[in-house]
Structure 1
Amino acid sequence: PPHKNGAPLWWKVANRNKLGITLDVRKPEGRELLLRLLPGFDVLVENFRTGTMDRWGLGKEALFEVQPKLTILRVTGFGQTGPYRGKPGFARVFEAMSGFTYLNGTADGPPLNMGFPLADSVAGLFGALGIVAAAYHRIRHPGTAGQEIDLSATEAIFRTLDFLPIEFDQLGVVRERLGNLSAYSAPSNIYATRDGKWLSMAVSAQSVFERLCAAIGRPELIGDARFSDNQARVRNRDALDAIVASWIAARDLADAAAILAHHEISFSPVYTIRDVFDDPHFRERRMIEEVADPDLGAVKMQCVVPRFSVTPGAIRTTGPRAGEHNAQVYGALGLDGATRDALRAKGVI
C-alpha cells in the first residue's frame, strides 16, 4: 500500500475517527488488560484465523464472562465452521473461490482480479450491518445475552452475485466472461470516443432504446426485427454494438455526452481518480473531504457515507499512530505512567 514520508496512507483512511492503542493479547498481562477494557464496550471485532482467540484464552466464554451483552464479530476468510475454517487468505483468494473472479475478463481471456480488494470492503459492510442488527436486537430485547457474528468474507462476496446461484440451480447456466458486455441487456458496453476517452452505457428498457436510436440518428433500428425487444437485442448484440460503437467513436466525449444527455440516455464517462476530484457535482456535495493530519498536514479522503439529516457524521481525525492513545485509554483504567512504562518495556503495550 502507498506511503508518504513513512506514513501509511491507507491507514489514514481505514482507521479514521479511531483511538489507537497497542496491546499484545498473547501475553497474560495483555489478555487481562483486554478483559478489563471490555465492560466499557458493546462490540469486539476480530480478524484472526478461526480458533486463534480461543488458544489465547479469549474464547467467547471468557469474553461473555466480563461483558455478558457483548457482540463479537468474527471476520475470517471462510467462517468458523467447515473444512476451510482454518485456511488463510486475502481478498483475491476469497473473490476467486466465490465465483466472482471467474466472471471478470474477456470471453477469450483468463479470469481477471479486481484492481482493489473488493472482498475486504464488502465483508466490512456486511460486518457493520451485522453489528447494527445485533444492537437493534439488544434494544428490542433488553434482557438478552450477547452473541457472536460469524462473517465469512467469501460468503460476503458470494452474496453480491445476486441471482447467479438460483440461475445455476434452476437453469443449469454457468455464467461465462463477457468483458464489458451484459448477459441480460444490449447495447451495454464501454465505448472509446474520438478523443481517446471512454464512455459507459447500458440500455435495456424499450423506451430508452428508442431514445438511443433517435440520439444516434438511426430511427429505422426501432423497426428492425433483430432489435425488436431486449431479448432480441441481446441475441444480436454484436451487430447492435458495432453500430453504437461506430457512432461514439466518431465523436469526442463531450459531444457524445451532450447528445446522449439530451435524449435522457443512461451513460457515464469512465473516470480516473483525477476526474473524480475535478467533477463539479462531487465538489458541490463535498464527496472528497479535506482533513487535518499530524504527519502530512491536510489530506483528502472520501466523505462520510451515507448522509444523515439529523445526526450527520464527520471525519474528526485521520487514522492514529500505533499506540497514540495508550495514555488516554489505559489511564482511564487506572494505569499510571510508571505502570504503562513497565508494560511497554515487557512488550505488552
Structure 2
Amino acid sequence: MELPLTTSSHATEQSGPLSGVRILDMATVLAAPFGATLCGDLGAEVVKLELPDGSDALRGLQPIKDGRALWWKVANRGKLGITLDVRTPAGRDVFLKMLPSFDVLVENFRTGTMARWGLDADTLFRHNPRLVILRLTGFGQNGPYSSRAGFARIFEAMSGFTNLNGFAGGPPLHCNFPVGDAVAGLFAAFSIAAEMVRLRDDPQAGGVEIDLSATEALFRLLDPLPVEHEQLGFVREPVGNCASYTAPSNMYRSEDGVYFSLVASSNPVFRRLCIALGHPEWSEDVRFRTNPDRVRHVNELEARLSPWFQERSYDAIAKALDAHSIPFSKVYNIADIESDPHFQARHTIVRLPDHDYGSLPAPCIVPRVAGRELPIPRTGPDVGEHNDMVYGSLGLSEDLLEELRSKGVI
C-alpha cells in the first residue's frame, strides 16, 4: 500500500522532477535532514520520523520563540511528521511494514547503530529490495574513525576547510553557521537524485547503501589542496580576506565604515579597476601586469588600493566601480538581503505557511526552472503531527495506535 504523502497541491506538471519519490527521513539535526528537505523542495514526498519524545537536538537550537523551534520549522519544511521508536520490537515491526512504501531511507546514526536495532541492510533489503539507504555520518562507514560522533565544526576542522579561514599568524576561524552540515546535505540530495535516475532507467535494478562522509563531502570542495601540496610543496594557509591564488581579491572598508568585497583578478578587469580609481598606470606596473605578478606582490598592490577606498564614502566608491563594471558587493546581513531590490524582484525569500505564526520567511527553492513554478512548502511538522494520517494509510487500527501510544512506541 502506498502512502498518501503529498504535502502541497495535487501532483501536476509543476510538481517537480522528484515527484513520486518517497523518502523516509529518520535522521537527526541538520545535515542529512537538509538533504531530504532539498529533495522535498523539488517534489519528493518526505516523511520525518522522530522519537516520540521529540528529542531531536534541532528542536533545542536557537532561534527559539514561544518555546517553538524556528530553525526546525524552516529546515524541515514540506515534510509530514510521525513518531516511532524503532528500538522497540513493536516499533521495529511497524517500521518494516511501512518500508516498502518508500524509495529512500535517510539515516545518520553512528555506524552499526541500525544493525544493533535489528535493522541491518540485509533486513531492510528483504523488505524493500529497491530501497536506497543513505547513511550520512561524520567519517563514513569504515575506517578508524567510523564510530566517532560527527559535528559540523569537527569535520570542518578535519577536512582542511577551517584551516583556510582566518588571518595570517592568527587562529583559524569557524563560521557562525554549520557550513559542513549544509555541504553534506547538498551531497545527500545529489546522491539521492542520482540513484533515482539509475532506478528509473532500470526496473530490475536493486537498492544500494550510500556511504556519505560529511568530512569527505567538505574535502571534495577543496580540489587544489592535494595537487599543490604534492607538485609544489605548498600548504595553503589562511591569508585573511586576500587569496593565495588571485589578486586583487580582498575585503575593503570605506571612509564611512562600510565593508565590501571586490574581485578584479583577470587582467581586463584589473585594468578597468585602475582606470576607475584614476590610476591607469598601475596596470602597466611590471609587478601588477598579470595575475601571478599581482599575487607575488599582493602587499604592494594592497598598499595602493586600501588607502584609496579608506578615503572615500561607500556611495562614491560604488558609483566609480559600477561605472567600470567591477565585481564588488557590500557585505550583506539579513536586513540588507531583505531590502535588496534584486532579491525582492526574484522573491528570494518566500513565506512558508505555518499553523503557529501564519507564515514564516525562508530561502526560496533552488534552482529555478523556466516555465515551472513549484508549490511553496509548509513549515516542518510538530512531533507526531501526521501519525494518524500515515499510520492509518498502513491499515493500523485506532486501537493498535492507542496501544502503541500507551507504550511510548509512537
Q: How many angstroms apart in 2 are the aligned matches of 1:158 and 1:280?
A: 35
Map 1:158-307 → 2, pairs under 5 A: 158-307=219-368
Q: How many angstroms apart in 2 are the aligned matches of 1:314 and 1:183?
A: 43
Q: How many angstroms apart in 1 are the aligned matches of 2:352 and 2:281?
A: 54
- Does structure 1 residue 154 correspond to structure 2 residue 215? yes
Q: How many angstroms apart in 2 are the aligned matches of 1:45 and 1:131?
A: 9
Q: How many angstroms apart in 1 are the aligned matches of 2:373 and 2:104?
A: 22
Q: Which amino acid aligns with 2:377?
A: R
**Gaps spanning 5+ residues in structure 1: where?**
none
Q: How many angstroms apart in 2 are the aligned matches of 1:84 and 1:189?
A: 37
Q: Which amino acid aligns with 1:139?
A: R
Match of 1:25 in 2: 86
Map 1:73-88 → 2, pairs under 5 A: 73-88=134-149
1:315 deviates by: 2.2
Q: How many angstroms apart in 1 are the aligned matches of 2:73 and 2:313?
A: 38
SS at match of 2:191: helix
Q: How many angstroms apart in 1 are the aligned matches of 2:315 and 2:74?
A: 33
**Gaps spanning 5+ residues in structure 2: where?**
1-61
SS at match of 2:361: strand
Q: How many angstroms apart in 2 are the aligned matches of 1:197 and 1:154?
A: 35
1:277 deviates by: 0.6
Q: How many angstroms apart in 2 are the aligned matches of 1:202 and 1:186?
A: 7
Q: Deviations over 1:173-211 (max 9, x none)?
A: 111110100111111110001121111011211111100
Match of 2:16 in 1: none
Q: How many angstroms apart in 1 are the aligned matches of 2:167 and 2:133?
A: 41
Q: How many angstroms apart in 2 are the aligned matches of 1:16 and 1:259?
A: 43
1:164 deviates by: 1.1
- Does structure 1 residue 92 correspond to structure 2 residue 153? yes
Q: How many angstroms apart in 1 are the aligned matches of 2:371 and 2:203?
A: 25
Q: Which amino acid aligns with 1:114?
A: C
Give the conservation status (yes or no) of the 8 Å contact 1:78–1:85.
yes
Q: How many angstroms apart in 2 are the aligned matches of 1:124 and 1:45?
A: 11
Decide which moves more: 26-35 or 136-145. Answer: 136-145
Match of 1:328 in 2: 389
> Out of 308, 311, 327, which is 2:369 matched to?
308
SS at match of 1:225: coil
Distance 1:127 1:62, change over 3 A: same
Q: Deviations over 1:292-343 (max 9, x none)?
A: 2111222111111111234432322100101000000001011222221110
Q: How many angstroms apart in 2 are the aligned matches of 1:222 and 1:128?
A: 45
- Does structure 1 residue 38 correspond to structure 2 residue 99? yes
The RMSD of aligned alpha carbons is: 1.0
1:159 deviates by: 0.6
Sequence identity percentage: 54
Give the conservation status (yes or no) of the 8 Å contact 1:45–1:72.
yes
Q: Which amino acid aligns with 1:13?
A: V
Match of 1:47 in 2: 108
Give the conservation status (yes or no) of the 8 Å contact 1:29–1:348.
yes
Q: Which runs of 4+ in 1 moved over 4 A?
A: none
> Out of 92, 115, 128, which is 2:189 matched to?
128
Match of 1:5 in 2: 66
Q: How many angstroms apart in 2 are the aligned matches of 1:199 and 1:160?
A: 25
Map 1:106-117 → 2, pairs under 5 A: 106-117=167-178
SS at match of 1:226: coil
SS at match of 1:20: strand
Query: Could you state the TM-score of these two structures normalised by the residue count of structure 1?
Result: 0.98
Q: Deviations over 1:44-103 (max 9, x none)?
A: 000100000000000111111111000000000000010111011200000111111111
1:241 deviates by: 1.1
Match of 1:67 in 2: 128
